[in-house]
A and B are shown apart, each in its own frame.
Chain A
Amino acid sequence: MASLTEIQHPQALRARTVAVDVFGISQRIRTRVAIAPDQIETFSEVVKHHVTDPHEIDELFAALERGQPKPTPRALEYRWKVVAYDASGARIAELYASAIAPFGMTGSGLHFTFVNEEFIHYLAAHYGGVPAGQNSA
């Protein structure tokens, strides 16, 4: 599974990726308990996008790099999960992102903070969520 360094500088990861799944849960959905990262993929209201267009995958990784993830000791609730697959269909990277704050986590549980909101804005704009501070329907 990809390290934080690979996610911070994802060119090599991009080169191996042939498909991406983006799982998103709208911030408008209210829950009894905060959603844990391992719930996202199977959550009843999750929306899944399977991306195979190379140009779209390029854009996704470019947005991730512009987000400049930095290590952080804490994390909030996550509403996004992004899974990258290589040509054999193996999962080579997983990462999680919050919906209304610039927080993320690697698949191995390492928390990080995006220096800006480029990546979560990109996810929201392209995959149906709601960007930070713009939660009105």
Chain B
Amino acid sequence: MAFMPPLVSPGIQGTEGPPPAPAGTKMADLLKPTRDVPTEPYVHYGKVQVQRELNDDFVKAQTYLGKSQHAVNSLHDLRNGQDAVKVEKITTNDVLFSPDQPPGTGGTIKWNPNSALTCPDGSRQTAANGLLHEQGHANELHNHDARYDAQKAMVNQRYGDGDEQRNIAWERTYSKELGEGTREDHGGLPFAAKGPTSIEPSERAMTEPAKVRQAIHDARGRAEGYGYPPPPEPGPGDTAIAAWDGKAHTGPVVHLDGGAAAQYVADGKGGGQYQVYDVQKDLGGHMPPENNQHLTISDKGQFPAPHAQQHEANVLGGR
């Protein structure tokens, strides 16, 4: 009998996030450098060392994140930690926390200040949100290193392991405070946004059929990996993928990139076609949710997703 892990791990601890900062602590106070020598490659905020070329975006992100007390707690905790945590810039979507690099430190966060995320329910998160997510891992390692390893060894389907389950539960809490999207798994589709606090895509929506086909294939893998029913594989031939015909349809949706989604429209004869929506133009800027086999999108490009749409309104309105 093959091993199959549970959907989620029971008894996960630490979902409340890092310890509270002293009463009255302000984000602006935490963003006063403790060492800032122009010829040096890092700007220091206590034990947090930010790559100089990333510093402006780091300050912009933290200032925005300061709307949530959880972000203040996180940065205060790292700033006053025992070991230095580096924050370095990347230009790919491999946003991560590496606990072992450089050796003997508190680890390195690699952050792309333009890498936003579409959550499976269609809501979106800023790049700043991803920075705080990785800080959460650094906080956990810093405060509970034994628990960090113990929960990381707890395999589950939705989050991969118990440590991600802990961190994403905390992410849900602060994301709601920020008015951003939330996730119930370790999924999501990164996309290039206009800046660290933006959820607006900086690139044109995907329309090229070969790329759409690959993106649908990837979306099927995501669904299978997290234990959701996968949407159908596109059929062969040029007609299997087309632009939205402007009519109402019911069927599963997949996210293609930050500005495009495709819906499978069954033909009633065992086949079907994927129709591609330009989210901005066709759907009023609202990304529909994935993992819903029976989602109806009206001929006006509307669908029932108040959760995702409320988040979009909060972030866009709060800038």
Contact = CB atoms under 8 A, between A and B. Distances in A.
Contacts of B2: 70, 72, 102, 113, 115
A54 interface: no
B134 A32 contact: yes
A44 B110 contact: yes
Given A33-B190, A77-B160, A101 B90 contact: no
A134 to B, nearest CB: 8
Contacts, number: 111
B155 A76 contact: yes
Contact of A44 (B5, B94, B164): B94
Given A34-B160, A34-B186, A135-B153, A29 B97 contact: yes
A50 interface: no
A126 interface: no
Interface in A12-33: 26-33
B5 A76 contact: yes
A34 B227 CA distance: 14
Contacts of A38: 218
A133 interface: yes
Nearest to B95: A32
Contacts of B20: none
Interface residues of B, number: 44
Given A44-B96, A133-B153, A109 B221 contact: yes
Interface in A45-85: 45, 70, 72-77
Nearest to B156: A76
B127 to A, nearest CB: 10
A111 interface: yes
A74 B152 CA distance: 20
B224 interface: yes
B294 to A, nearest CB: 21
A26 B101 CA distance: 12
Contacts of B217: 109
B55 interface: no
Contacts of B155: 76, 100-101, 132
Nearest to B146: A136
A65 to B, nearest CB: 17
A121 B120 CA distance: 32
Interface string B159-181: 01101100100000000000000
A87 interface: no
B224 A101 contact: no
A28 B152 contact: yes
A39 B225 contact: no
Interface string A104-137: 0000010101010000000000000000111111
A36 interface: yes
A61 B92 CA distance: 33
Contacts of A135: 149, 152-153
B157 interface: yes
Contacts of A132: 153, 155
Interface string B111-138: 0000101000000000000100110010
Contacts of B18: none
A76 to B, nearest CB: 6
A37 B157 CA distance: 16
A26 B90 contact: no
Given A33-B187, A36-B218, A101-B3, A74 B224 contact: yes
Given A32-B117, A74-B157, A101-B155, A137 B94 contact: no
22 contacts: A26-B98, A27-B161, A28-B100, A28-B152, A30-B164, A30-B167, A31-B95, A32-B134, A32-B190, A33-B95, A33-B186, A33-B187, A33-B188, A39-B94, A45-B101, A70-B2, A74-B157, A74-B224, A101-B155, A113-B2, A113-B3, A135-B153
Given A33-B190, A75-B221, 9 more contacts: A28-B152, A30-B98, A34-B186, A100-B153, A109-B221, A111-B224, A132-B155, A134-B153, A137-B100
Interface of A: 26-34, 36-39, 42-45, 70, 72-77, 100-102, 109, 111, 113, 115, 132-137
Closest 3 CB pairs of A and B: A113-B2, A30-B137, A32-B95
